[in-house]
Chains A and B, each alone.
Chain A
Amino acid sequence: MVVATSPAMTLARDADGNLANRADWTKEIAVQLAMEEGITELTDRHWLVITYMKEQFEAKGDAPSIRKLTKESGVETKELYALFPKGPAKKAAKIAGLPKPKGCI
């Protein structure tokens, strides 16, 4: 059995498993959070979405929904699901160190 030793595991989390404090987020932590979601490598396309999520959160106080992501991030739905399998909005928010988007109930 592999014992996880990533620093991200020691950080405070909310009920959804997302970072409790946005200030804890770094690019290195993002890589570890991605691993938790089964994403082994963060490409430029991943970072495009993650950066967009962070900007939207700063501006609006909520992470964007999948519909908004498709409309405004410049990445098509199909590719979003390839980058962040199963739940692009939810997973990208987690990796960006943000709480789960309110739209995802």
Chain B
Amino acid sequence: MKKLVILGAGTAGTMMLNKLSNVLDKNEWQITIVDQHETHYYQPGFLFIPFGIYQRKDVVKPKRDFFPTGANVVMSEIDRIEPEKNQVILKNNVVLPYDYLIIATGAQIRPEEVEGMKNGQWHKSIFDFYTVEGACALADFFKHWEGGKLVVHVTEMPIKCPVAPLEFAFLADSYFTERGMRDKVDITFVTPLPGAFTKPRASSILGDFLNKKNIHLTSEFNIARVDNEAKRIVSWDEVEVPFDVLVTIPTNMGDPAIQRSGLGDELNFVPTDKNTLVAEGQKNIFVIGDATNLPSSKAGSVAHFEADILLENFMSVVEGRAPSQKFDGHANCFIESGFGKGILIDFNYDTEPLPGKFPLPGVGPFSLLEETKMNHYGKVMFRWMYWNFLLKGQELPVESNMTMAGKRM
């Protein structure tokens, strides 16, 4: 029996388990998936919780609902990977030998990386919305808040879903307008980037949206510390931004097990070949999703596109051929812009987001880099697609690698 071990049963790991269970011969392969948590979170839904649009129950399901029947599931924390011995050591010292390994251990927020972020006002007037706990605490806070300075802040790149903080600012504008108190809420978007987003053309268009919605932008702000007493964030070059409520995206890092294995970079992300998805310096270890150090967005759509490429390359490698498929960094993101509208962007390593129609050239129904109601419906509908198709590894009507058809230069 050949042994495949998948580390992490989030979006990427679950997709790979389903895809590979369908194609690998059960008489020849034993597939094991390892995760320490029973609950699967629909992370894109966290964004909506602070505004009362979703509740906790809308974003959680048991992981087991998405595993294929007969899957070998190990619920345990991972201590470390020993690549030279082809084995994984679990927290209880159980040893899992493997012939092939897929790392899908994701990324998590680490507020303790910034001085003062975690040990004062955390979940009192400083919140994250990248955990269900943070998002729910913020929902409770907003219900009773009477207004003041709302600061939406990105600590450092890379972060999961780089558009989420912008969406948060847009939705906050919409939420406080609909509650009739927008005039009492001053919204500032604070980012270490030179503009609203990572890519120049989208950055300029999204920057205009911030302007239109009367959201102030403070760019190139690299946070040094949170001053809990004076309620302000301070940059390394002593710029200060005061807040009444701080909604921050803390530093995102890979799993501590990656660090313990000596397989990560300074943020515990695994150096990965950006085309083949093979871990650098390894032959039988693949990496997918947020766990990689790829210069692509950390997003479910990226993991989904990677999954198709990884499946092909995995089959090539186990059959003794070189990995043939190349991932192009394709990402596809619905951006909620508030008031029931949304913006869609589609891009890869080399092509920045461009205007046009998606997925059918000239037809749509979605519009790229434009604010439409249909784009919002796409985002809402996606949750259903996620639970019912995507996690189960079924095909969606979108190409894995990006296409220029329908885009305007």
**Does A65 reach chain B (CB closer than 8 Å)?**
yes
Q: Using a CB-CB cutoff of 8 Å, which residues 228-253 of chain B contact chain A?
A: 235-237
Interface residue stretch chosen among A3-11, A26-34, A78-86? A78-86
A80's nearest neighbour on chain B, judged by CB, is B236
Contacts A105-B157, A105-B158, A105-B198: A78 and B236 contacting too (C-beta < 8 A)?
yes
Contact yes or no, A102 B295, CB < 8 A: yes
How far, in whole Å, are A3 and B354 apart by their CA atoms in the complex? 36
User: Chain B residues with Cβ under 8 A from A80's Cβ?
Assistant: 236
Q: Taking A67-B267, A68-B266, A105-B198 as contacts, is the C-beta distance between A77 and B224 under 8 angstroms?
A: yes
Bound-state Cα–Cα, A91 to B142, Å: 40
Chain B hits for A67, CB < 8 A: 266-267
Contact of A81 among B156, B157, B222, B267 (CB under 8 A): B222
Contacts of B158 in A (CB 8 A): 103, 105
A side interface size, CB within 8 A: 17
Asked if B395 CB lies within 8 Å of chain A CBs, one says no
Q: Please measure, in the bound complex, the distance between the C-alpha atom of A66 and the C-alpha atom of B158, giving whole angstroms.
A: 12
Closest to A76 in B: B236
Chain B: number of interface residues, binned into ranges: 10 to 19
Contact B266 A85 (CB under 8 A): no
B residues within 8 A CB of A103?
157-158
**Chain B residues whose CB sits within 8 angstroms of the CB of A102 once the complex forms:** 295
In the complex, what residues of A have CB within 8 A of residue B156's CB? 66
A77-105 residues with Cβ-Cβ distance < 8 A to B are 77-78, 80-82, 85-87, 102-105
Interface centre among B198, B235, B237 (most CB of A within 10 A): B237
- Chain A residue nearest in CB terms to B198: A105
Residue of B nearest to A85 (CB): B237
B198: chain A residues at CB < 8 Å are 105
B208 close to chain A: CB less than 8 A: no
Q: How far is the CB of A84 from chain B (nearest CB, A)?
A: 10
Tell me if A71 is interfacial: C-beta within 8 Å of chain B.
yes
Mark contacts of B204-243 with chain A using CB atoms, 8 A cut-off: 1 yes-contact digit, 0 otherwise.
Answer: 0000000000000000101010000000000111000000
Rounded to whole angstroms, the CA-CA distance of A77 and B295 in the bound complex is 24
Q: What is the CA–CA distance of A77 and B115 in the complex, to the nearest angstrom?
A: 13
From residue 156 to 187 of chain B, which have CB atoms closer than 8 A to chain A? 156-158
- How long is the Cα–Cα vector from A67 to B264 in the complex, in angstroms? 14
Q: List 13 A-B contacts (CB under 8 A).
A: A66-B156, A71-B266, A77-B224, A77-B236, A78-B224, A81-B235, A81-B237, A86-B222, A86-B237, A87-B220, A87-B222, A103-B158, A105-B198
> Apart from A66-B156, A80-B236, A103-B158, what 19 extra A-B contacts exist at CB < 8 Å?
A65-B266, A66-B222, A71-B266, A77-B236, A78-B224, A78-B236, A81-B222, A81-B235, A81-B236, A81-B237, A85-B237, A86-B220, A86-B237, A87-B220, A87-B222, A104-B157, A105-B157, A105-B198, A105-B295
